[in-house]
A = this chain, B = another copy of it.
Amino acid sequence: MKKEYQKFTNTLRKISDINHAISLLGWDKEVNMPKKGAAFRSQQVATLSAISHEMFVDPQFIKEVSELLKNKKKFKLKERKNIELIAKRQERSSKLSTDFVIRNSNIISEAYHKWLEARAAKDYSIFKDSLKKLVDIKKEECEIVGYKDHPYEALLDQYEPGAKVADLDILFADVKAQLIKFCKKIDEQKQVDDSCLKKHFPKEKQWDFGLEILKRMGYDFDAGRQDISPHPFTTNFAPTDVRVTTRIDEKNFGSMTWSCIHEGGHALYEQGLPSEDYGLPSGRAVSLGIHESQSRLWENNVGRSLPFWEANMSLVKKYFPKNLKGVGPEKFFKAINKVSPSLIRVESDELYYHFHILIRYEIEKGLLEGTYSTDNLNEIWNEKYKEYLGVKVPNDTQGILQDIHWAYGSIGYFPTYSLGSFYAAQFYAQAKKEIRGLEKQIERGENEKLLEWLRKNIHQYGSVYSSEELCKKITGEGLNFKYFMKYARKKYKAVYDM
């Protein structure tokens, strides 16, 4: 079957070539494209997407894959996994008829435009009917695709393969039980002073500082680059060309810095995937949750730690001497870890963050179960924000309309953000066990050993192990929320002198 497997990888590599060209069309759209280029660009993406899809579900290719699947026992783990994962994706794709795909795409397109309109008018009711159509077709999709215990799993599976509602229920119950209490306790403390982060930080200086930080993390600029875009993101055209973008707010030190480290973490994962497995599941990130664990680990566990700023205080002061006059690592560490409930997910601190996700999770599940209706979903939203975050939502744009995900047809995506942070805490705890003096290394600005550990334990495997398997392999147990709480308790005790 060696020859057949070779043929299989060749086809996948070609499909990947097309998909990476699509990624470049997308990257360029955000970073470079002049405004009049939009219409033809969409058409070009649509054409390439159709070709890629046709190649992937080509009956001949499906037949070849199913032949390999029948013989999977003849292959070693990696090859077997590649065959199984492709067969699984093909099965899902084949179940969705062309008619369904077109209807879905039209509904998403309408939803996107209605969402833009609704945001501008700060009025959820404009988006409501589109969202209903979207939820309806997603329900349909769940039934077509199939699931074991809960329809939501059919959607989750696209982003976090194998994720179970039963597990997420436990996880978010823990979030509710433990994190709400912990945040209340923090709220009773004297608030930290973060005024040093709200001064004027010139654009060019921030840009140079961001590049320097990426270098110190171990990001390879010979295999990537950073640019500016309205919404920071990471994309890749191969493990040898992984690009990040950032944005700069001159009045807010955090905006660029955290996006830069966050995307840097994503990028280190992509740069660490095995080049020789380009186009294959074994050369691709395993899930969004694990991807997010890499960005969050660098952003929060490392980037918002005291040792990291012991190492980088002189650097940041070199760029912004006036703004940070008299601010030492400890004061800086406290400032960057201020906890305070906020309306907007992407502006949230790392604790309240999970209430944003919890709310999305409850709502998405409720919509699929039929316990929530799109009719008054903004009211439900606002009540939940009152309950979990204690904030009053002034309008729908700062409330239910804040994120693009639903308008892009993504339901089941949000939970991966919380999963990412929780995996990060669990991985980082393990890394500290295994790397002698890790925090001392970070304090000296030496991040190599940590990156090496991530490469060895996570990056090199691509999708060979599922999230769950990977977590067990690395830490000896499945995802456990206690690591996040342990990390949070230790850190915020120091931040708030509790």
Q: How many residues of A contact B (CB 8 A)?
A: 37
Known contacts A18-B48, A32-B225, A51-B51; A241 and B40 CB within 8 A of each other = yes
Whether B20 lies near A21 (C-beta < 8 A) is no
Kindly list chain B residues whose C-beta atoms are within 8 Å of the C-beta of A32.
225
Whether B47 lies near A14 (C-beta < 8 A) is yes
User: At the interface, yes or no: A260 with Cβ under 8 Å from chain B?
Assistant: no
In the assembled complex, the Cα of A304 lies from the Cα of B225 at a distance in Å of 38
Kindly list chain B residues whose C-beta atoms are within 8 Å of the C-beta of A47.
13-14, 17-18
Other-chain contact of A240, B36, B240, B241 (Cβ < 8 Å)? B36
Known contacts A25-B24, A48-B17; A34 and B238 CB within 8 A of each other = no
In the assembled complex, the Cα of A43 lies from the Cα of B21 at a distance in Å of 11
Question: Can you tell how many copies of this chain the complex includes?
Answer: 2
Q: 1/0 per position for A40-57, CB-CB distance to B under 8 A? A: 110110111001000000
Whether B21 lies near A25 (C-beta < 8 A) is yes
User: At the interface, yes or no: A28 with Cβ under 8 Å from chain B?
Assistant: yes
In the assembled complex, the Cα of A51 lies from the Cα of B44 at a distance in Å of 14
Whether B21 lies near A240 (C-beta < 8 A) is no
Whether A21 lies near B44 (C-beta < 8 A) is yes
Whether A44 lies near B17 (C-beta < 8 A) is yes
User: At the interface, yes or no: A394 with Cβ under 8 Å from chain B?
Assistant: no
In the assembled complex, the Cα of A13 lies from the Cα of B42 at a distance in Å of 13
Beyond A39-B240, A41-B241: 20 further Cβ-contacts under 8 Å?
Answer: A13-B47, A17-B43, A20-B40, A20-B44, A21-B25, A21-B44, A21-B48, A32-B225, A33-B241, A34-B222, A34-B240, A34-B241, A36-B240, A37-B237, A37-B240, A39-B238, A40-B240, A40-B275, A40-B278, A51-B51
Q: Which residues of A contact B (CB under 8 A)?
A: 13-14, 17-18, 20-22, 24-25, 28, 32-37, 39-41, 43-44, 46-48, 51, 220-225, 237-238, 240-241, 275, 278
* Nearest 4 interchain pairs by C-beta: A37-B241, A40-B238, A17-B47, A36-B240
